[in-house]
Amino acid sequence: MRWLAVPLIAGLLAGVPWLPGLPLFWVTLLNSIGIAAILVLGLVVLTGIGGMTSFGQASFMGFGAYATALLTTHGVSPWLALPAAILAAGVAAAVIGAVTLRLSGHYLALGTLAWGVSLYYLAANLDALGRNDGMSGLPPLVLFGARLIDPRLYFPVVWAFVLLACLATRNLLDSRVGRAVRALRGGAQAAASFGVNIFRARLVAFVYAGMLAGLAGWLYAQMQRSVNPTPFSLNASIEYLLMAVVGGAGHVPGALLGAALVTLVNDRLQDVLPRLLGAQGNFETIVFGILLMAVLQVAPEGVWPHVARLWRRRIRSHPLGVPPARAERLEVGAAVLEVSALRKRFGGLVAVNDVSFTVAAGQIVGLIGPNGAGKSTTFNLLTGVARPDGGRVRFAGRQLSGLPARAVARLRIARSFQHVKLVAGMSAIENVAVGAHLRGRAGALRGLLRLDRVEEAGLFGEAAAQLARVGLGACADRPAASLALGQQRLLEIARALCLDPVLLLLDEPAAGLRHQEKQALAALLRRLRAEGMAILLVEHDMEFVMGLADRLVVMDFGTKLADGPPAVVRADPAVIEAYLGGVA
Amino acid sequence: MDSTILLILGQDGVVNGAIYALLALSLVLVFATTRVIFIPQGEFVAYGALSYAALDQGQLPGSVWLLCGLGVAAFVAGVWRGRGTGGLLGLGLRTLGLPAVVTMAAMLLAPRRPGVAVEAVLALAIVTPMAPYIYRIGFQPLAEASVLVLLIGAVGAHLALTGMGLLLFGPEGSRAGGFSEASLSFGDLVVQGQAIWIVGLALLAMLALYGLFGHTLVGRALRATAVNRLGARLVGIPTEQAGVIAFGLAGFIGAASGILIAPLTTIYYDSGFLIGLKGFTAAIIAGLASYPGAVLAALLVGVVESFASFWASAFKEVIVFAVIIPVLLWRSWRAPAGEDEE
């Protein structure tokens, strides 16, 4: 039946504007809504999902529109201007993004604000762009010999692009790169620990949003057949952001809903307010401003989630394929991690003081100690989250200390977090699939065009296998946030296993687990050990760690107190004193 | 370009820079205590200037009605959320009593043209309290939200206030009489009395802020809130109060800046935004954190602006805002990638 969909949709698009009784004015309005929706889709990816706010989105639209105007008034076909418009906006976004995207979010927002203003003044003062008057007399779009001047003829073009943009956005978000973008909000540190290039993920979202704005600019220029700076001003950018916030910035349909609501309300207000107030002016900004503040307080998620609740959500299941091949394990007994004289100080406090120990393949080592002993700091030094002030960490003979988290992941070192770091909006299996990021190769373009399906099925096959291994096979499609804390910890372990690690670093994996879950976890770790994996775990639960570890490293006040088999360590007087206090 | 033009441009730059410095200081203050990036700061400049100009012409400024409206809204919001500090009576006095008194004073005094000083004080009294009311209505409920949500809210407030400005003051611009018609000459350089007033008052305000933060309990409470909200609350500092005070100071500084520049240039209902944005540029250059840094950056912005308007006046705004690009580049170079977005 799928092959029927295309002609059906095409017929619908061509037919809707000719419905009897539909005023021409409404068709124009629908065209405006469609163009705005395309731009707002970009904001959904960027702001709602990627957590970056742009107050300059209309200026990217301006890049597209002016590129179109410049080319078509010089004799280039409007259809050829389309890729040029998208490219112009994309390049502008890449340049601006490269400058600001390393900084935390509000710098980007303020940067786009300043750029939005200066680009507006630039366009309004450049002779080549016609200054404040802009450029007019663009040749109309021609399709099958018809000049698309009538809004009813232009309608199918606009909405075909809206559908394509929705489809592309959905594809992108449901891909390897899309998961990296979705992990930016709240899960960036975790994603980086699995090899995601955070900066590149941000840049992808920013450029993609810029390109959608460029497409909107092309459509706008072709619809108006003229351009001037006003529709690309800061106020326009703010209006698009309002659409995203009102509609539901985290959801693709929210872009359509927001664009429709704000455009329609705007149209009514521009009509009613001046009559009501007895003066001319853009008084709708008062309502929009108050609306924006009210939505943030009353429905911060926007309107769409409230609409979507009216019907049952269909959960998209992922086809599972053959997992990618595993790399070789190290020989059991080979030294995997060698820590020597590791040191970290915070001001006057030496948090880790010349600590040395080793972990071998096929061995479980427990790092224990009272609160404040420096376990977590040691852990962060090993995983590239913090940089050591002295000492060396070697991994399979290679220098590890000082490497960033992403490079640590490349060496097939996987970790879990003491405070669980999962992406709340993604399902359990999608979270786990983030762990397999480095085992896939597909980029944004392949994801966008859906050419990544075989690889994706493989990654999800692996994710499903690891989920089943930790006993969460039944929860695969549930939102990660809906799982109990103990289950979330197990989910983190499944994600870590997806990396196909040589060394597994677990930060308090048993905390919050019930007795049976702990036993299951211990059994799993024993199996992994038998497979030759090296495991280092920081743990508070003595019973758990005593029965499991081959060796224990005890820390207190940043220094190593003892190192040896559990039975020996348990009898060590220094350890007893650290845990129970001095003998009175 | 000869030395006279250089001196004049330099003087212009310093005078504008002094205003931007005041705005940048209050932006840093508000951001540090509440994490709100106070975009509507520029509207307070315009409101201050236009209210003062109206009083200067013997008219009742329309902004008193907005003050009353915001007061009522703040009262309703306060009652709705359960009063907070000071009980119902205190809330009523602060949100209903104050605007009533100010409005009556303005109605009484405006037609009599009581002179520059009284007009300035009256304009301050009308505009300043709007900021804490806006905090209570719009931002207090979002106190735990992310910086970006607060920023979007601030943009909403900016949008609403700009529209209100058009409604209250009309589309025409206004210019007020100066504090001083005198001018001093030092050799080639002629210094306007108003310029001296601006730089002098800006310095005074900076000193006062320094005193407030360094040597008073309120200032220390604000600083504590800036460093650690939760910690400040645990030691008994009402952090909502800190937000109210920070907004109040920002409103005061914005309105005062507007009053100071009203005699220099024609101000329209929407002129404030660009002025405020230049304060922002300075605050961003200073990383939204350092007070002396913000002042220096503001002077830089002022000087760049005055020279840009001489050499390439059409591209003045483009050049001024482009100043932050190298700064952002430099910051970006040093920033670690991969931190979590909220």
Which chain B residues are closer than 8 Å to A242 by Cβ?
Answer: 156
CA distances from A175 to A442, A481, B20, B161 (A): 8, 21, 46, 42
Q: Which of B315, B333, B341 sits opposite A51 (nearest CB)?
A: B341
Distance, CA of B279 to CA of B296 (rounded, Å): 11
Q: What value of ipTM does the predicted structure carry?
A: 0.86
pLDDT digits (tens, 9 = 90+) for A208-221: 999 999 999 999 99
Amino acid identity of residue A334, one-letter, is A
**What is residue A436's DSSP assignment?**
T
The confidence score (pLDDT) of residue A584 equals 42
pLDDT digits (tens, 9 = 90+) for B64-104: 999 999 999 999 988 888 755 557 888 888 889 899 999 99
Q: Which of A100, A238, A405 sits opposite B338 (nearest CB)?
A: A405
Report the b/e string of A196-216 with b at 16+ CB within 10 A.
bbbbebbbbbbbbbbbbbbbb
Intervals of CATH 3.40.50.300 along chain A: 334-412+501-584
Q: Mutate one of B159, B169, B334 to test the A interface: name it (highest A CB count within 10 A).
A: B159
Q: Which of B163, B284, B321 sits opposite A282 (nearest CB)?
A: B163
Are the beta carbons of A527 and A497 closer than 8 angstroms? no
Amino acid identity of residue B119, one-letter, is E
CB pairs under 8 A between A and B: 168
Are the beta carbons of B244 and B135 closer than 8 angstroms? yes
Q: Which of B264, B309, B303 is nearest to B20 (CA)?
A: B303
pLDDT digits (tens, 9 = 90+) for B238-263: 877 888 989 999 999 999 999 988 88
Q: Is some CB atom of chain A closer than 8 A to the CB atom of B230? A: no
**Considering chain B, what is the average pLDDT of its residues?**
84
Q: With bands split at pLDDT 50, 70 and 90, how would you rate the model's confidence at B1? A: low
| Yes or no: domain A334-412+501-584 corresponds to CATH 3.40.50.300 | yes
The residues that bridge with A392 in the sheet, in sequence order, are: A340
Contacts 24+ apart (CB under 8 A), A304-313: A304/A247, A304/A248, A304/A251, A304/A253, A304/A254, A304/A257, A304/A258, A305/A248, A305/A250, A305/A251, A307/A257, A308/A251, A308/A253
**B167 CA to chain A: closest CA distance, Å?**
7
Are the beta carbons of A289 and B158 closer than 8 angstroms? yes
Which chain A residues are closer than 8 Å to B167 by Cβ?
Answer: 277, 279, 281, 283, 286
Mean pLDDT value across residues A187-200: 88
Q: Which of A121, A277, A289 sits opposite B157 (nearest CB)?
A: A289
Amino acid identity of residue A80, one-letter, is L
CA distances from B72 to A147, B64, B249 (A): 56, 12, 21
Are the beta carbons of B17 and B298 closer than 8 angstroms? yes
A111/B338 CB distance under 8 A: no
A13 pLDDT higher than 90 = no
Among positive and negative, which fits the CA dihedral B30, B45, B151, B129?
A: positive
pLDDT digits (tens, 9 = 90+) for B13-56: 888 899 998 898 888 888 888 888 888 999 999 999 999 999 98
For A107, nearest residue in chain B (alpha carbons): B284
Distance, CA of A260 to CA of A37 (rounded, Å): 8
Which chain A residues are closer than 8 Å to B324 by Cβ?
Answer: 111, 114
A51/B148 CB distance under 8 A: yes
> SS3 of A136, please?
strand
A313 pLDDT higher than 70 = no
pLDDT digits (tens, 9 = 90+) for A491-508: 999 999 999 999 999 988
**B193 CA to chain A: closest CA distance, Å?**
33
Which chain B residues are closer than 8 Å to A50 by Cβ?
Answer: 341
Which chain A residues are closer than 8 Å to B160 by Cβ?
Answer: 285-290, 293
* Contacting B residues, span 119-138, partner chain A, CB-CB under 8 Å: 138
B155/A292 CB distance under 8 A: yes
**Considering chain A, what is the average pLDDT of its residues?**
88
